[in-house]
Structure 1
Amino acid sequence: MYTDSHCHITDELLYGRIDEIMENILENKIDNVMVICCKEIDYLRAIELKKQFPFIRIAFGWYPQDALEITKKHFELLESVISSLDCVGEIGLDYYWDDSFKDKQKEIFIQQIQLANQYQKPISIHMRSATKDTLDILREYAQTKIIFHCFSGSKETMMECLKMDSMISFAGPITYKNARQAIECIEACPIDRILTETDSPYLTPVPFRGKQNEPKNVQFVAKKICDIKQVDLLVLCSQIEKNYHSLFQ
């Protein structure tokens, strides 16, 4: 019934609870799960998990704030496993914590987009305090489907993203009291361009804000979107599932 298009359940913070997390996924009808891997160990764990749970999809990419550590060997590793991936990500730009190596971030971002183009893989985008640079690079280089993960921009920015034939993915923050901008975006976003996610273990939605997040909580994101758009839950979840699977055709 539900779709979590972005979660980090093989990350160190959650993997110790993986059996419980997978049980919760099954019990709460989370039928579609994309595991995002930012390190080699995350990817290796995801591959093993997929053998037991075939509905899992896997994304792998080098995170923008790790750009200074990325070498030729990292790209050789990514290319060596890319045929097993459903998506390249999360990739992008993040100037929020440290903007002293913007050029390196851009270089790593562009190289990963080009790799995704070569192998015809969609890309999951991390865009924080770097809207103009991210969109400029995507306009110039991206040739495959784009997911704007955990979208937190303005309505105007979202409209620019939609011009790229992208998906807009919403997460737990849309349930927070100060989520006025997110509500405007959801109101304006066509239902056939929406995805839901948790970004587990982060950004836990109300009513569990403050606790560790996991995919079972994506239902609260979906229900909030239904409230905002006045759409039936089954209709919304069915459309989001279609949106999700359209990325991988």
Structure 2
Amino acid sequence: MYTDSHCHITCDRLYARVDEIIQNIQTHHVTSCMIMSTNQTEFERAKVIKEQYPFFKLAFGWFPGDAKEMTDAHLTYLENEIQAGHLDCLGEIGLDYHWDTSFKDAQKQLFVKQLEIANTYHLPVSIHMRDATKDCMDLLRQHAHTRIIFHCFSGSPETMQEALKMDSVISFAGPITFKNSRQGPACVKACPADRILSETDSPYLTPVPHRGHENEPMYVRYVAEKIAELKDMEVPSLCAQIEKNFAHVFA
């Protein structure tokens, strides 16, 4: 039983073959899976999928790169969907300074507003933190009062230890299987097994041995197998622990 805690199967790149992807999820024993949506179109698609396949968890949040376009109406839509019972998690939200640092303040304001919404409705949050570690961690310490998933963690072991001091789990993706990955494997080894999640972030970051191909949830097995190797655990035991960790996020 495999867990993909973060996949984008309703994005345009994957949605064209979503029926095949869901069939692959079932065939390859992915029994826990959370669909991430970063815009309204993706989320509306995800809701339809969950009506047919209730085992999916759904996450939605406004991405930091869109902060300049955000209005009160966007936040109202988010709250309405929460109140309607359509969200299991608020995310992925956070900060991203990789491409453009000209609107950091807008990103921070959007991030804090969404953390406060998560607090109000007692929803876990999935965190995107790219080239913005200090600001993101500072805001989480100040404003996050629900469970935290550090999505596709790529920070240092020291940053991970700070993250673990929060009410958090650390999610690892395909990069831990890459030959040039150093911090990822070190973090896996240092992270307690009961605080680990596996993910694909599909369609991105396809793990070895399928690197170079489009990613999808069925490939999460390679992430889980690498985590088990690094933790010196049997794969079934590791997968059972990850599934337990995933369920606990929503308890």
What TM-score do you get using the length of structure 2 for normalisation? 0.98
Matched letter for residue 178 of structure 1? N
Matched letter for residue 10 of structure 1? T
Q: 2:242 is paired with a residue of what secondary structure?
A: helix
> How many angstroms does 1:180 deviate by?
1.2
Alpha-carbon displacement from aligned partner over 1:53-84 (angstroms, at most 9, x marks no partner): 11100000000011111111100100000131
**Partners of 2:162 and 2:124 in 1: how far apart?**
18
Q: 2:36 is paired with a residue of what secondary structure?
A: strand
Q: 2:91 is paired with a residue of what secondary structure?
A: strand
Matched letter for residue 46 of structure 1? A
- For 1:41-56, what aligned pairs fall within 5 Å after superposition? 41-56=41-56
Q: Which residue of structure 2 aligns with residue 136 of structure 1? A: 138
Q: Which residue of structure 2 aligns with residue 18 of structure 1? A: 18
Alpha-carbon displacement from aligned partner over 1:24-49 (angstroms, at most 9, x marks no partner): 00000000110001111111111100
Matched letter for residue 7 of structure 2? C
**Partners of 1:70 and 1:200 in 2: how far apart?**
25
Q: Which residue of structure 1 aligns with residue 247 of structure 2? A: 245
Alignment RMSD, CA only? 0.5
Matched, 1:38 2:38: yes
> How many angstroms does 1:181 deviate by?
0.9
**Partners of 2:36 and 2:7 in 1: how far apart?**
6
**Partners of 1:207 and 1:84 in 2: how far apart?**
35
Q: Which of 91, 94, 104 is the equivalent residue of 1:92?
A: 94
**Partners of 1:50 and 1:153 in 2: how far apart?**
32
**Partners of 1:37 and 1:192 in 2: how far apart?**
26
Percent identity of paired positions between Structure 1 and Structure 2: 58
**Partners of 1:2 and 1:191 in 2: how far apart?**
15
**Partners of 1:171 and 1:55 in 2: how far apart?**
21
**Partners of 2:57 and 2:49 in 1: how far apart?**
10
- For 1:207-222, what aligned pairs fall within 5 Å after superposition? 207-222=209-224
Q: Which residue of structure 1 aligns with residue 199 of structure 2? A: 197
Q: Which residue of structure 2 aligns with residue 117 of structure 1? A: 119
Unaligned runs of 5+ in 2: none
Q: 1:84 is paired with a residue of what secondary structure?
A: coil
Unaligned runs of 5+ in 1: none
Q: Which residue of structure 1 aligns with residue 107 of structure 2? A: 105
Matched letter for residue 212 of structure 1? E
**Partners of 1:184 and 1:5 in 2: how far apart?**
21
> How many angstroms does 1:165 deviate by?
2.2
**Partners of 1:77 and 1:52 in 2: how far apart?**
23
**Partners of 2:21 and 2:9 in 1: how far apart?**
8
Q: Which of 164, 169, 172 is the equivalent residue of 1:170?
A: 172
Q: Which residue of structure 2 aligns with residue 27 of structure 1? A: 27
Alpha-carbon displacement from aligned partner over 1:172-202 (angstroms, at most 9, x marks no partner): 0000001111111001000000000000000
**Partners of 2:19 and 2:199 in 1: how far apart?**
20
Q: Which residue of structure 2 aligns with residue 61 of structure 1? A: 61
